[in-house]
């Protein structure tokens, strides 16, 4: 009799433990779903913001100290020299296009406020085939957007700037 009672208690505790584990797994799945959902919403917001950035009226052509594009062995190297005297955060976005019209952000770096000239470098390890256009978009902490001259790189490595 004691053995049957003990077996029933263990079965009840086991069932309760299985239910607790099931609830924990469900909560973990719910958290993962929420993270994926918020991540997708964040990407959509960034795409919308990028679209609005292309249409903004605060864009001005920047006079960066130096902006070079070099193609070596299939990789495209971009070098930007700036002197950022203003305090606050500045972000530099590298944008690429295959048609010189639709630019996509492929990389970025946060700028440093400094009276010295600073070199920022990027590598495009997977440039598309054919002629590719690059530009740098600078967004300052107060929302002013500056765009560099456009540099094009041919598949044969020839470089031109506009």
Coil, helix or strand at residue 122: strand
pLDDT at 56: 41
CATH numeric code, 59-161: 2.60.40.10
**Cα torsion angle, 71, 76, 79, 80, sign:** positive
Alpha carbons 92 and 95: distance in angstroms, whole number: 10
Coil, helix or strand at residue 10: helix
pLDDT tens-digit profile of 1-56?
Answer: 555 555 556 656 667 766 776 788 777 777 666 566 555 555 555 544 444 444 44
pLDDT tens-digit profile of 78-120?
Answer: 998 887 766 667 889 999 999 999 999 999 998 887 888 888 9
Q: Specify the pTM.
A: 0.60
């Amino acid at each position: 009799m004691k053995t049957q009672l003990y077996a029933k208690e263990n079965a009840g505790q086991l069932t309760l433990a299985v239910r607790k584990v099931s609830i924990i797994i469900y909560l973990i799945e719910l958290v993962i779903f929420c993270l994926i959902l918020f991540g997708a919403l964040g990407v959509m917001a960034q795409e919308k913001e990028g679209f609005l950035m292309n249409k903004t009226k605060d864009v001005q052509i920047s006079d960066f100290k130096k902006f070079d594009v070099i193609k070596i062995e299939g990789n495209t190297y971009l070098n930007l020299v700036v002197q950022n005297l203003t305090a606050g955060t500045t972000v530099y976005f590298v944008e690429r296009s295959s048609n010189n019209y639709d630019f996509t952000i492929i990389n970025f770096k946060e700028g440093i406020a400094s009276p010295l000239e600073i070199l920022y470098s990027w590598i495009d390890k997977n440039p598309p085939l054919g002629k590719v256009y690059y530009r740098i978009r600078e967004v300052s902490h107060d929302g002013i957007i500056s765009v560099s001259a456009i540099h094009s790189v041919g598949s044969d490595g020839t470089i031109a700037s506009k």
